[in-house]
Structure 1
Amino acid sequence: MLTNFLRVFKFGWQEFLRNIGISVGTIFIMFIALSLLAGTLFLKGISESLITTLKEKIDISVYFKSTTQEGDIFKAKEKLENFPEVEEIDYISREKALEAFKEKHKNDPQIMDALNEIGNNPLPASLNVRASSAQSYAAISNFFEKGEFKNLVEKVNYRQNRLIIEKLFSISALIKKGGLAISLFLIFIAVVVTLNTIRLAIYAKRKEIEIMKLVGATDGFVRGPFLIQGILLGLFAGFLSFMVFYGVDILFPSEGSLIFAELGFSNFFGKNILLFLLIQIGGGIILGAISSLVAIQKYLKI
């Protein structure tokens, strides 16, 4: 049985090499499809990671009217501290806000001149609030906009932050759907190309197949080399795709590249390397095998 398998594998390898030009073209198409599929997975994971990171960094800034007494602000702060979802509250007085503003714009004479012309401090006192989860910010925002302190509040910037999060979710969904649609289209093209590659191999060996059947070769022995050929095409395409991703991880480590550090490429690829291996190499083998089986069923009449 092992001898038969080795012979079938040998004939399959010979078919792979016999039409090397067509094989390389087929591998390239499959490589593009598998790489795009893996790239979609990567972009989806990175976008979700980015959203999570931004959620952790985002906060609410509550700006109070200039007439609000500091004691009233502290009362609001004390009540807010009783919220279980609130992690941190920073009070920024009008004086502290003015100092920070001057420090930020000290090299801009136009802004500094305008500030001096105003004379008094135009900046409001504020509370910067960080919560344990993004879902908690709506309740905190309502506390200031609709609660007992609503007449003291000038503005709550929760709406702007929420728009950022929603925009990122939209981009993530677009990446997922768009990338998946293009990947499926290219996979379909890869199946068609592989199917035609096997069809050409079957056509080229039609006389040999007739002779093999006359001397008693089994159907499995005749079909086997074409199945092996398809699997080899998928294996090489998947391996090449995986090595490109692995090469990028080696050549551009997060520690040495600001862009890749921000994207978290190495971290995401390293944590999901087995998944990438399965999708690219395993997916390539399955893609090649299915294409071969369809071609054998359709074109190999024995």
Structure 2
Amino acid sequence: MKVRTLWYFSREAGVGLGRNGLMSFAATATVTLSLMLLSCFYIVIANCNHFVNMAKGVLEIRVYLKDGSDPVAVQQRIAELTGVKRLRYVSKNDGAKWLEKNLGVADLFTENENPLPDMVNIKLTDDAKVKPLVQQLTALEGVAEVEYGKTFVESMLIVTRVIGVIGFGLVLIIGLVVLYIIVNTIRLTVLARRKEIEIMKLVGATDWFIRLPFMLEGIFIGLGGAFISIVVMSKGYHLLLAYIKQLAPFIPLLSERLINQGLYLIIPALGVCFGALGSLLSLKRFLRV
């Protein structure tokens, strides 16, 4: 599309918005409130995922080695596995010293009587797949047993799946409701100009020639609503963080910078999509002349 043509359609869209100021304001307000609602769900879901990742970050897998196995070779094989962030080797003698220190007992075991196995403690990456990794560790030569807090891990995985399913479902439902509201709001604007559309069709204007100004109106409305919702939600999250730090500083919410990065990417894209799609769906019936 030529710049001159785009400028023409943009100007027509601006004229249309100004001519139907009340409807345009109503549509922008609807988009703003809808995007603010979606922003709230994004903030909640993002923080829930953050909590799950933090829980995974503190999770530690313990690998107990067989007697006589080569700890260096086992550590090299473990380090090559996907999901391993770092590992720490604890010999049976170091384990005995730690136990003696915590129990307050000296010389708990003699060197030949020490029943503790050599052990490798593993820290996981944020994207680690725990169960497959445990299966790989168990199959390694020289590994006697793998301990990883099975109940906690399985509960954490269930929580992750539930959050993902509920989050996706809520965003989908809210998105459809938002689109329905926007379509009906923009339809009122289109309805007020139906005679203009009919005349344009009768004099030979193509469907896309008619659609583009309305699509740009919808995009402008969507961007306007996105801008307002980002400003409000960003400021609101800033105040929420300050309040949480005073009331419960131990709750590790996502930083304002990370939340804003997501809002800046997602909300304008949703605003443009809702505005353009709402305009197209609203015009569909009126183009049949």
TM category, shorter:
0.5 to 0.7
Q: Tell me, yes or no, if the aligned pair for 1:8 and 1:225 is still in contact at 8 Å.
A: yes
What SS class does the counterpart of residue 104 from structure 2 fall into?
Answer: helix
Question: Contact (CA 8 Å) 2:45, 2:163: kept in 1 or not?
Answer: no
Quick one: which amino acid aligns to residue 46 of structure 1? H
Matched, 1:293 2:277: no
Q: Give matches, 1:235-250, under 5 Å.
A: 235-247=223-235, 250=238
CA contact (8 A) 2:57 2:123 kept: no
**1:227–1:289 Cα contact (<8 Å) kept:** yes
> Identity over the aligned pairs, expressed in percent?
23
Stretches of structure 2 that go unaligned for 5 or more consecutive residues are 79-86, 106-113, 125-129
Q: Superposed, which structure 2 residues align to 1:4-19 within 5 Å?
A: 4-14=8-18, 17-19=21-23
2:101 maps to 1:96? yes
What residue in structure 1 maps to residue 270 of structure 2? Answer: 283
1:239–1:12 Cα change, 3 Å: same
Counterpart in 2 of 1:130?
A: 121
Written as runs of structure 1 = structure 2, the 5 A alignment for 1:152-191 is: 158=147, 161-191=149-179
Q: Which residue of 1 aligns with 2:62?
A: 60
Structure 1 distance, partners of 2:219, 2:101, is 68
CA–CA distance in structure 2, aligned partners of residues 243 and 23 of structure 1? 15
Partner SS, residue 262 of structure 1: coil
Q: In proportion to residue count, which structure has more helix? A: 1
Q: Which string of whole-angstrom CA distances, capped at 9 and with x for unpartnered residues, describes residues 208-265 of structure 1? A: 4445566776655543443233213321333334334533565537xx6775872343
1:31–1:241 Cα contact (<8 Å) kept: yes
**Match for residue 153 of structure 1?**
none
224-233 or 240-249, larger mean C-alpha shift = 240-249
TM-superposed CA distance for 1:143, in Å, is 4.1
* 1:120 counterpart residue number: none
- Cα pair distance change 1:291/1:216, threshold 3 Å: same
1:24-63 alignment runs, 5 A limit: 24-33=29-38, 35-36=40-41, 38-39=42-43, 42-43=46-47, 45-47=49-51, 49-55=53-59, 58-60=60-62
Q: CA deviation at 1:267?
A: 6.3
Partners of 1:60 and 1:190 lie apart in 2 by 49
Q: Which residue of 2 aligns with 1:265?
A: 255
Structure 2 length normalisation: TM-score? 0.66
Report the CA distance shift for 1:132/1:203 in structure 2 as closer, same or farther (over 3 A): closer
TM-score normalised over the length of structure 1? 0.64
Determine the structure 2 residue equivalent to 1:105: none
Equivalent position SS for 1:131: strand
Residue 279 of structure 1 aligns with an amino acid whose one-letter code is: I
The alignment yields a C-alpha RMSD, in angstroms, of 4.1
